[in-house]
Amino acid sequence: MKQIELILGEGLKKEFTSGIKGMELLNEFEKKIAKSAVAIKLNDKLLDLSVPLEEGGTVSLITAEDPEGLDIYRHSTSHIMAQAVKDLYPDVKVTIGPTVENGFYYDFDKLVPFVPEELEKIEKRMKEIIKENLPITRKVLTKEEAIKFYTEQGESYKVELIQDIDEETVSLYEQGNFTDLCRGPHLPSTGKIKAFKLLKIAGAYWRGDEKKQMLQRIYGTAFPTKEGLKEYLHKLEEAAKRDHRKLGPALGLYNTFDEAGPGVIFYPPKGAILRTILEDFMKREHYKKGYDMVITPHLLKGELWEISGHKDYYRENMYFVPVEEQEYVLKPMNCPGHVLIYRSKVRSFRDLPIKFFELGTVYRYEKSGVLHGLLRVRGFTQDDAHIFCQEEQLDEEILKAFKFAIEVNHTFGFHDFYVKLSTKPEKYIGSDEIWEKATIAIRNALEKEQVEYMIDEGEGVFYGPKIDIKLRDSLGREWQGSTIQVDFNLPERFDLRYAASDGKLHRPIMIHRALFGSFERFTGCLIEHYGGAFPLWLAPEQVRILPITDKHIDYARQVGAKLSTYGIRLEVDTRNEKTGYKIREAQVNKIPYMIIVGDKEIEYNTISVRSREKGDEGEMVLEKFIERLFEEIRKKT
């Protein structure tokens, strides 16, 4: 028999007979790791523990605690779910069941849609399958054999998948009476699953095509320990409490109306206050950084979008409007408008960099099925800026924009983030040479600042590579944050020039950047990050004054008038309700401070203060309270 050399553990080399299986090597490793192994890695290739090893190389064990192992663990759980569904509903057809971030799903073709109550029934059957500890075994068939097998099973979706595979053989995984098409690897047996939970039901089109069959998708999650599952489910509960789609309307921050159509946002008074705070902050900070404010129209001629390339590369997201037999476009971007302002006069190298900033409202067509509260809408406002600079200024201006983005995110309480460099997509404009230049400029800027970043291949915009800053909120969830894009292409397509120091006309380079991204999405992010309990400087209503009875209303209004002169945002609650009820309501509305006034406060010319975080804080003079508010606002805590 052929001998193969394997490098195990801490560089230990040993010879084994060819065909030895991963599970037979477990004794060669530390007992604790071996016990929790779910797969092996041979020369960077993941394999089932049951796969015979035919070649030598470096072997390492993969546990469910490893990212790759957790993926295998969850994928195996999705197969168990599919088996449970088939056991309970034999007429259901199975399709695909991949892993996703934090869990898995499986899509089923079921005549009568699942209802939430059925999840418990499916979970019960899954637990029985796990208890049976069924071996999960891999077998390899030719495409013809696999097609015959699934045709006999009546699983037409599997047949379609196999027909699209460009290989002579396919692998199937069998556990008890259930066999699934899959590349693997998988756990050695169903009994390895320790903790799982089915989460929700949703609809999904077969292969994401709305012209094809609507399927039933069941989402779930799984963890190697019950503690891990418990912690994750707690996070989900917290996330549900913070859902901006519920909190936003409940706190009076935004509305949507069926009569107005999906994906368009209305801001009632408190939402308008929050929006104004964000806008005023951005205007101040941009003026400090040397940006010039501009305003561009919402409706622009179609020819402009042909020049920019949007009509060819972004058409499906654009709204076209006929006007007097001419085609106009509701702007999906602000950049062509800023380009026209730049081009409106001769620019000198002494003027550069020129930085145009706009609170620009744009319109993008999104299918109704993907609209999501404030996060995915059809009309939104960007804190959009375009920097026109010389090539030798490019690295510095990218770096300035990046630092500005970090400052802004820190101010709003986002200190945990990571950075991606998104590179040339499949469809793009311009030459490979200028794409390379733009990408190198971004790399130089990030590396000069010693910023760690990951490459996101093919995710740049059609006119240039970009920096994406991904924020993590108070629950560790990720949000799309600031973006900075480097563009050699639009200046060329619009023939932008500046008079250089050598007396010749040169082409500027353009940096597109948005720090919030969109006000709508950033507002949704803020609502969920803070759970609606905004810090004082952001709170639309900072103080609510509660007179105990009607005879205390005049004094309450006097206190309110004085606070208002200092710019404090407040309401005086004059309703004929019990004080306890008013306090509870203010707490539900997440008001940072309450002032309660009655006989005692009037007699001593004081106020009684309750805070959202600490509750009753006792009596104090109004001037001291105002000082406290100003200090808290100044610190933006």
The catalytically annotated residue of 310, 512, 521, 529 is 512
Backbone angles phi, psi at 124, to 5 degrees: -60, -45
CB 513 within 8 A of CB 446: no
Candidates 466, 513, 529, 552; catalytic one: 466
Among 71, 79, 335, 573, the one annotated catalytic: 335
Is 153 a known active-site residue? no
Backbone angles phi, psi at 69, to 5 degrees: -70, -40
Report CA-CA distances (Å) from 579 to 133, 387, 598: 60, 54, 10
Which residues, other chains included, contact 77 with Cβ-Cβ below 8 Å and sequence gap of 6+?
Answer: 104, 126, 193, 196, 220, 222
List own/partner pairs for 470-474 with CB under 8 A and 24 or more apart: 470/417, 470/418, 470/419, 470/420, 471/409, 471/414, 471/416, 471/417, 471/525, 472/414, 472/416, 472/417, 472/418, 473/414, 473/525, 473/528, 473/529, 474/529, 474/530, 474/531
Looking only at the bridges linking them, the beta strands covering 593-597 and 543-547 are parallel
35 is catalytic: no
- The answer to whether 386 is a known catalytic residue is yes
**Catalytic annotation, pick one of 75, 386, 424, 521:** 386
Q: Alpha-carbon distance 129 to 508, whole Å? A: 65
What CA–CA distance (Å, rounded) separates 227 from 51? 31
Q: Does residue 364 carry a catalytic annotation?
A: yes
Q: 525 catalytic, yes or no?
A: no
CA distance 286 to 391: 22
Confirm whether 335 is a catalytic residue: yes
Active-site pick, 41, 270, 331, 364: 364
Catalytic residue, from 180, 384, 468, 473: name it: 384
For the chain, report the end-to-end CA distance as a whole number of angstroms. 71
What are residue 418's DSSP bridge partners? 470
CA count, 13 A, side-chain hemisphere, 276: 11
Catalytic residue (choose from 83, 216, 382, 485): 382
The pair of three-digit structure tokens given for residue 256, joined into one six-digit string? 């949507």
Distance CA 227, CA 235 (A): 12
Is 466 noted as a catalytic residue in this protein? yes
How distant is the alpha carbon of residue 58 from its chain centre?
37
Task: Give the helix/strand (H/E) hosting 292.
Answer: strand 292-293
Catalytic center residues: 335, 364, 382, 384, 386, 466, 512
